[in-house]
Structure 1
Amino acid sequence: MNSFDSIRKRIGRRSLLQGLGAAAIGITFTGALAGCEKKEGAKSSTGEEAKLNFYNWDTYIGETTLDDFKDTSGIEVNMSLFATNDELFAKLRAGNPGFDVIVPSNDFVERMVQADMLMPLDHAKIPNFKNIGADFKDVAYDPGRKFSMPYTWLTLGIGYRKSKVDGVPDSWKWLFDSDKYKGRIAVLSEAGDMFRLSAKYLGHSVNGITPELVQKIEAMLIKQKPNIKAFHEDNGQDLLLSGEVDLVLEYNGDIAQIMAEDDDIDFVLPKEGSQLNSDTLCIPKGAPHPQNAHAFINYLLDAEAGKKISEYILYPTPNDAAKALMPDDYKNNPVIFPPAEALAKCEYAAYDGKMQPIFEEAFTRVRAA
């Protein structure tokens, strides 16, 4: 394993650009988005110029995927990076600056559909949709997959150091409502996730949270704050691996990665249930190469291409055909792919434009307490 591989295995798909800071935003691969010279007369099999502009999270594509796609299609992909869904939304909200394929998370698919920012997909041009698992083919945030194709999925749970806890910490109680592990826990710094998961702990859905429930959660978290060592920005796996904390709220894929480095680490989905996330492939309105975009999305859903992506990014894949090609220590890993009975208690969070500012205001008070 080279040094970059070692770093990659310990970094979440949201964290690297946050760590690099604003200077990293707008990094492009295979040429700059605005600076690539058009090759006169170069056309792809779709009839469009042989180019595609891809806006993606960092470390979130296979090592050779873009080159492999160029080899098979003749289409050159220019990949630019964003660090957060908010950044992605802001970049597109004033008008598409030239992107053909983007990777929003599920709640932002809803938000962008509501804002009329996404093109409907032509499923006839994405025959590899057949490779997608049944659970991901028709979802509440995009019924019938009219605007999005599934790329990865994730769930939030508790990563923990086995030698430092009593048994399996299988409840959100240990993060949100107990001093048992005082000073040894880290939670997320994202307001919406914290309030939705707290609602789950208190017996509610992650959706339909009321202002009254927000007040109750706020009081609970203010009481809990002295027990919390850190509010992390999706680098909780690093805090756990380094021994700075013993329990952390983090994505299953991130904890699975560090479990390969330290056999004292494990992951659990709390018994109350959790929140599911999915990152998706969409075509924004105004895409200059919509036919190439369909061809690229179809390629990413190919079994072999999907296998290469999963091997590199190490996140759960919704692509059954790609998963079947993966080694057993990936596809049979209960951390990457939790058992059905555990997932049955998990939900996707719907976008709620009215409640998000309320979450953020309340969480500001929690962190200032």
Structure 2
Amino acid sequence: MTYTPKFRASRRSVLKGSGAAFIGLTMMPRFAMSEEEKKLNFYNWDTYIGETTLADFNKASGIEVKMDLYADNAELFAKLKEGNPGYDVIIPTNDYVERMIAAGMLDELDKSKIANTANVADAFQDATFDPGRKHSVPYMWGTMGIGYRKSKVKDASSWKAVLDSSENAGRISLLGDGESVIGVTLQYLGHSFNSVVPAEMKAAEELLIKGKKDVKVYADDNGQDLLASGEVDLAMEWNGDIIQVMGEDDDLSYSVPGEGSLLWQDCVCIPKGAPHPENAHAFINYLLDADAGVHIADTIQYATANAAAKAKMDAKYTGNPGIFPPDEVIAKCEASLYSEEKTKLRNESWTRIQAA
């Protein structure tokens, strides 16, 4: 299939069209209903769902989905830390899944109600951050890298282009996510993304403070929009966000720097205190349906963990190295690991960087 953006191609821009015409899925599963009211409260990254997925699920199940949006994992965690205000399904990233399990914030899933877990690729059937996949199912995975304008940027093969060079001063956006920015800076300096070694942390902090003069903006994950509009020429961003706007502008490209990057996995979970747990399981099962998975992946252009969906997609998607990087690129990437010490040190360092 050919991907044609139908709305603002951004994981964080305001979602439109969730009530658009239903797509013609080849299999439209019907769900056995309990006595729960036919409602579901979904807390998600912005535009991180198929354009009509929520409407299609409503048609298949009779369950009406209300979706609220968060900008990052820290906002999600803070929202739920003091108690669930009423959400049934959330999509945290792997290290936050681990953090939320440790804090007792996630319910265990009843896999007997999620038959479509059989569609999940073998590599994602288990996870070190959630042994046995008791609390999560995989959704999408990918990398963080550099989106850039080819006509303006000579070389984006190294993090040097956005962290340690004045060649593109004033034309750079970095993510506003301190955990990730500090992590890839550590990788650029030859250390682990997850390092908490004081000397290594200090070197990364000093480099980021030194480079602040060259950064136009620390973006709330909308670097792809800044790149597309011409406000910046390089943007530290998530791969799918850049790939989406690449579909609208042939002058844009995406690079995973040679020093390595972050390898992330977003997961679908049910938070403690979910008011509609039966509906939540039905929704998760629907997200893992092969045809629903095709629609989601084709819309948002991230790497799906749904093997049944991937098998139905064409080479334009499955053969795109920006979506599915070659093994040698993945080998240089690291997953973010959760620890209280790391979270504390990164937060303190990021505060100093922003205040400098």
Q: TM-score range by the shorter chain?
A: 0.7 to 0.9
Within 1, Cα distance between the matches of 2:322 and 2:234? Answer: 16
Percent of aligned positions that are identical:
55
Pick from 245, 250, 253 the counterpart of residue 258 of structure 1: 245
Equivalent positions of 1:1-369 (< 5 A) are 7-9=7-9, 11-13=10-12, 15-16=13-14, 45-49=32-36, 50-166=38-154, 168-369=155-356
5+ residue gaps, structure 1: 18-26, 31-43
Within 2, Cα distance between the matches of 1:118 and 1:229? Answer: 38
Q: For 1:161-197, what per-residue CA distance to the aligned partner results, in whole angstroms no more than 9, with x for missing partners? A: 222232x421112222233333332212221111111
Segments of 4+ in structure 1 off by > 4 A? 4-7
Instruction: Give the direction of change, closer, same or farther, for the CA distance of 1:172–1:119 in structure 2 (3 Å limit).
Output: same
Shift of 1:103: 1.4
Within 1, Cα distance between the matches of 2:32 and 2:95? Answer: 34
Q: For 1:75-106, what per-residue CA distance to the aligned partner results, in whole angstroms no more than 9, with x for missing partners? A: 33333333332332233222223322111122
Q: For 1:54-78, what per-residue CA distance to the aligned partner results, in whole angstroms no more than 9, with x for missing partners? A: 2222222223322322333333333
Q: Which letter does structure 1 place at the counterpart of 2:11?
A: G
Judge conservation of contact 1:48–1:289 (CA < 8 Å) in 2: no
Shift of 1:297: 0.7
Instruction: Give the direction of change, closer, same or farther, for the CA distance of 1:229–1:289 in structure 2 (3 Å limit).
Output: closer
Partner of 1:34: none
Instruction: Give the direction of change, closer, same or farther, for the CA distance of 1:235–1:79 in structure 2 (3 Å limit).
Output: closer
Structure 2 SS opposite 1:273: coil
Q: For 1:256-293, what per-residue CA distance to the aligned partner results, in whole angstroms no more than 9, with x for missing partners? A: 11111211111111111100222211111222332322
Q: Structure 1 stretch 109-118 or stretch 69-78: which is displaced more?
A: 69-78
Partner of 1:20: none
Structure 2 SS opposite 1:287: coil
Q: Which letter does structure 2 place at the counterpart of 1:65?
A: T
Give the TM-score, by structure 2 length: 0.87
Within 2, Cα distance between the matches of 1:264 and 1:48? Answer: 53
Within 1, Cα distance between the matches of 2:76 and 2:245? Answer: 28
Q: How many residues align?
A: 340
Within 1, Cα distance between the matches of 2:209 and 2:150? Answer: 27
Within 2, Cα distance between the matches of 1:159 and 1:182? Answer: 16
Instruction: Give the direction of change, closer, same or farther, for the CA distance of 1:56–1:48 in structure 2 (3 Å limit).
Output: farther
Within 1, Cα distance between the matches of 2:190 and 2:300? Answer: 33
Give the TM-score, by structure 1 length: 0.84
Shift of 1:326: 2.4
Q: Which letter does structure 1 place at the counterpart of 2:354?
A: R
Q: Which letter does structure 1 place at the counterpart of 2:115?
A: P
Shift of 1:217: 0.9
Structure 1 SS opposite 2:203: helix
Judge conservation of contact 2:196–2:345 (CA < 8 Å) in 1: no
Structure 1 SS opposite 2:49: coil
Within 2, Cα distance between the matches of 1:238 and 1:78? Answer: 26
Q: Which letter does structure 2 place at the counterpart of 1:206?
A: F
Partner of 2:27: none
Shift of 1:46: 4.2
Structure 1 SS opposite 2:293: helix
Structure 2 SS opposite 1:257: helix
Within 2, Cα distance between the matches of 1:54 and 1:189? Answer: 24
Shift of 1:346: 1.1
Judge conservation of contact 2:224–2:245 (CA < 8 Å) in 1: yes
5+ residue gaps, structure 2: 20-30
Within 2, Cα distance between the matches of 1:338 and 1:315? Answer: 11
Partner of 2:24: none
RMSD: 2.4
Shift of 1:6: 5.8
Shift of 1:7: 4.8
